[in-house]
Each structure stands twice: as C-alpha cells, then as structure tokens.
C-alpha cells in the first residue's frame, strides 16, 4: 500500500528537515548552547552558595553572580546594583506591583494598567483590588496600542503606579513605553514595564525611556527556566514579598540560583552583541512566512500592529475553520492558538478580543513565534503546511 505525502511533507523529506518544527518561541526558547556551556561548571565544580563569604566556593559563586548582574544591567542601560534576581517575570511583576503598592500606599491607592497585559500583571492588580486599591484597566486600539489620550484621562492625584508591558506576548505589539513613562516621570508616578518578551529582541534603555521598574525572564531569551530579574531604579522602595535572609538588598530573600543567573547573564551578553543582526534576520523570516500565507489564502487577517511589532511575532486569524481542528491538523508544527486551553475547549484569547476580534476568529488564530534557531527552510515548510491544511479544512467545511 503506497503512502501519499503532501507537497509540504515531500519538501521536508527532500530538505532533511527535522520534524516537528518549533515555532512557539514566545512561550519559551531553547537554551543557547553557549549559555549552557557557561552554566555547567556552576552545577558541580563551582557549586558554592553566593551568600557564603568565608571560603573560595562562596567567593566563586558570588563573583559569577556579580558578573551576571553587570551583563544584564549593560543590556538595558542600568547600574548593576539596580538588578534584583528573581525566579522569572511572574515573580518580578508581582514584586514590582505589590511592592510599590505596599510601600507607597500613603501617597495614593490608584494603579493604571491595560486589559491586554499578561496574567502576572492582571492577577496582581486584581489581588490589590481586594485590599482597597483602585485599578484602571485601559482599553487598546484595534492595533493593540494603548490610547495615550485615554491614558492621560485615567491619571489622577492618587495614581502611584502605571504598569504597561513593553511588548505583548500574543500579538507582539510594541507599546510606546517611552512616551508613557515620560508622562509618568513628569507627574512623579512610578512606571513599571513587563519586558519579558522585549528584552534581547528590541533595544531598551531604562535611562533614555524613563523606566523605573522592568521585569526580565530568562527562558524568553535563550536562558533557562526558573530565573529572571527585576530592574529597580535607585531610590525606588519596594516592600519585599518573600522574607527570610535579606538577600538582594532585602527585596527578595532566598538562596540565589547561581547556574541560572550565570545563564541569564550570558544570554543577555549574547543578545547585546548580536541583536541588530539577529532582529533583521528574524524579521525577514517572519515577513517571508506572512507573505507566503497571505499570497496563497483568502480570509486571513493579521492581528496587532504592523509597524510596532516584535521581529519574530506573527499572529493571524483564519476565517472558516475551527481552532482546535487547525491545531490538531498541524501536528508536526509547534505553534500556539493564542488562547487559554482547558480540558474541554479553547477559550477565545482575551488579548485578541480586546482588539475587537470576534470569538469565532479569535478561536481560529495562530501565533507563530520565530526565534534564533529557526531557518528559512523551516519557515517555508510551515507556510506550505498551513496553506495546505487551511484549504483542506475549508473544503471539508
């Protein structure tokens, strides 16, 4: 019995592509081999506790942490002493938002954020509402950008914190954080940005952009999971959310994850050195995928800003198909639906709905996340598979 292969599958065979293809780099990234190489000695050879100051094992660990702190600070234009290590962006967001709320409550109880923020921000704000804080959730325009006039109207004399993400994790929309932060600075309001998706992908400068607090996540930039950082501008006081030992200037107690911190530092150094070239290459791959799909299919729409977007992000809605069927059919490609999956069904993405996209189209959306290790051959294969699959599903109706 003969086996019938689709054109895309024949292409994969002819080009020796390894399947499945990973195109979900907004969810997580593979650890860069250069990062892993630098981490390995700190698991077994230099395994000391960075807080142990009485012997060479502790000194070696502390020296590695100090070097990593400097590398991270250099990438975002900060000072090393302004970097606080955490377990990831979720913890950094919690520390920033709850830490400001507790420390500055005597000055006000109003916080401003956007409806398209990551759940780490939204749920932190929801928690604070239970303790008497007022939170304004800004709507966004159809392209996903915050309306600056609406932002200005939301400000009042009790506003103590504004938290707007640098780049959205679903649509890749890059916000005008410099404009927002400048307006906060003029009024003496603290500005925080969740930059988990943006750090290492686009240029960021906490000094030039007037950023007071910035969250970083290791596993979004080719470092390991379980490590992150929070930039805290000198002079900003945060109430600690984890007590015990007074590590990290008293803001985040707990024994430091030295191998992870070493990896994060190395990953930031790699991003700093190669960001312009890497962004250009990844943008070209993203545009190639986008154009191939749009040239071959009708009923496809691009979600998010076309002009202000992360290099590797492509979020598209496909009319006339069911989201679950589409994901199931694309079983040799790792992509995201842009939705929160439950055991029973796929809920429409709250981010896409905030852009005015219908539930039906939101459920039939795909988020492609192109990263450092993707190739042109992989992009071509993915485009072919998406085109073939959409045509087949629409024919079946």
Active-site residue list: 341
Question: In the chain, how many H helices and how many E strands?
Answer: 13, 14
- Quote the CA–CA distance of 249 and 289 in Å, as a whole number: 46
Dihedral Cα 382, 305, 337, 384, nearest 10 deg? -20
**Cβ 85 vs Cβ 259: under 8 Å:** no
Residue 289 token pair:
């995928």
Burial of 328 (C-beta count, 10 Å sphere; 0-12/13-18/19+): exposed
Query: Rounded distance, CA 63 to CA 109, Å?
Result: 40
The two three-digit tokens of residue 189, written as one number: 């309001």
- Phi/psi for 211 (5° steps) reads -90, 130
Sheet holding 365-369, edge to edge: 300-302, 313-318, 365-369
Rg, the chain, Cα only: 22
Interatomic CA distance for residues 176 and 324, integer angstroms: 34
Distance of CA 375 to the CA centre of its chain: 21
CB contact at 8 A, 138 and 151: yes
């Amino acid at each position: 019995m003969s086996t019938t292969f689709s054109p895309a599958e024949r292409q994969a065979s002819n080009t020796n592509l390894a399947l499945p293809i990973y195109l979900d780099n907004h969810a997580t990234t593979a650890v860069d081999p250069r990062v892993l190489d630098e981490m390995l000695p700190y698991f077994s050879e230099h395994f000391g506790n960075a807080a142990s100051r009485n012997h060479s094992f502790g000194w070696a660990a502390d020296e590695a942490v100090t070097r990593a702190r400097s590398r991270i600070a250099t990438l975002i234009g900060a000072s090393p002493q302004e970097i606080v290590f955490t377990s990831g962006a979720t913890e950094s967001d919690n520390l920033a938002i709850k830490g400001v709320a507790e420390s500055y409550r005597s000055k006000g109880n109003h916080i401003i954020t956007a409806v398209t923020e990551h759940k780490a921000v939204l749920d932190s704000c929801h928690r604070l509402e239970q303790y008497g804080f007022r939170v304004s959730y800004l709507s966004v325009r159809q392209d996903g950008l915050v309306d600056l006039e609406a932002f200005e109207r939301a400000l009042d004399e009790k506003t103590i914190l504004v938290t707007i993400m640098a780049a959205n994790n679903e649509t890749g929309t890059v916000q005008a954080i410099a404009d927002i932060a400048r307006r906060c600075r003029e009024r003496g309001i603290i500005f925080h940005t969740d930059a988990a998706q943006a750090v290492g992908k686009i240029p960021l400068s906490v000094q030039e952009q007037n950023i007071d607090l910035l969250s970083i996540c290791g596993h979004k930039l080719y470092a390991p999971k379980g490590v992150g950082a929070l930039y805290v501008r000198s002079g900003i006081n945060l109430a600690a959310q984890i007590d015990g030992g007074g590590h990290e200037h008293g803001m985040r107690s707990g024994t430091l994850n030295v191998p992870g911190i070493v990896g994060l530092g190395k990953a930031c150094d790699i991003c700093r050195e190669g960001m312009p070239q890497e962004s250009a290459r990844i943008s070209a791959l993203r545009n190639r995928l986008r154009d191939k799909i749009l040239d071959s299919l009708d009923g496809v729409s691009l979600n998010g800003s076309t002009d202000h977007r992360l290099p590797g992000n492509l979020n598209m809605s496909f009319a006339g198909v069911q989201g679950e069927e589409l994901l199931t059919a694309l079983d040799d490609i790792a992509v995201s639906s842009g939705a929160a999956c439950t055991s029973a069904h796929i809920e429409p993405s709250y981010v896409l709905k905030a852009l005015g996209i219908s539930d039906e189209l939101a459920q039939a959306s795909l988020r492609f996340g192109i990263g450092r290790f993707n190739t042109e051959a992989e992009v071509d294969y993915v485009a072919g598979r998406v085109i073939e699959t959409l045509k087949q599903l629409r024919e079946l109706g």
